[in-house]
Structure 1
């Protein structure tokens, strides 16, 4: 179970780095090449959306079927274990949601830059005529 969360953590870190790099001001030639490279990576990286969705469903199912430790018969260690599992589940939900949100942001940034390039080309053609 820990391997999938580690992989998702690395994917979120890579997505955050890509989003940061894409939003940095840079020369037009470098930006266009970077956007085209990231656009090629986006389609294979789409696996993160269903993977995160499945993980969210898994967290929800485990939360619904988790044993509650709220009565007085629970020991302190059982209560600590229960609270720790709740905190880990909350952390993992944030990780899954951020993976999906960052993927969407990168997709929209690339689409925005491509539309901007198309509009610049149309403007150049209009000025040339």
Structure 2
């Protein structure tokens, strides 16, 4: 399970780097080469959208079927483990949403810049 979150984190970091490259001012010749390279990479990297959607569904399903730990029944260790799992689920949901939003941003900026050149 941790491998898929690590892969998604690397993809989000790469998308953030590409988004920064697209927004930096640069000469027209360099910008057109960057845009053409990113356009070639963008099509195969579309896998991130369904992958993130599947991960969000997994997070939702696990949240709905998670045992609740409240009241006097739970020990302190169980309560800590429950809270840690909630925080991890929230972090992973933010990671999935940011992957989709960054892909959308890069795709829209690449299309826009490609038509300008």
TM bucket, shorter chain: over 0.9
Does residue 105 of the first structure (1) align with residue 105 of the second (2)? yes
Partner of 1:22: 22
Q: What secondary structure does 1:67 align onto? A: coil
5 Å-filtered alignment, 1:7-46, equals: 7-46=7-46
- Deviating beyond 4 angstroms after TM superposition, the runs of 4 or more aligned structure 1 residues are none
- Deviation readout 1:8-49 (Å, 9 max, x if unpaired): 000000000000011100000000010000001001000000
- Matches of 1:41 and 1:114, distance apart in 2: 14
- Deviation readout 1:53-72 (Å, 9 max, x if unpaired): 00000000000000000121
Give the number of the structure whose alpha-carbon radius of gyration is greater: 1
Question: How many residue pairs are counted as aligned between the two chains?
Answer: 117
Q: What secondary structure does 1:72 align onto? A: coil
Structure 1, unmatched stretches of 5+, are 118-129
Name the Cα RMSD after superposition: 0.5
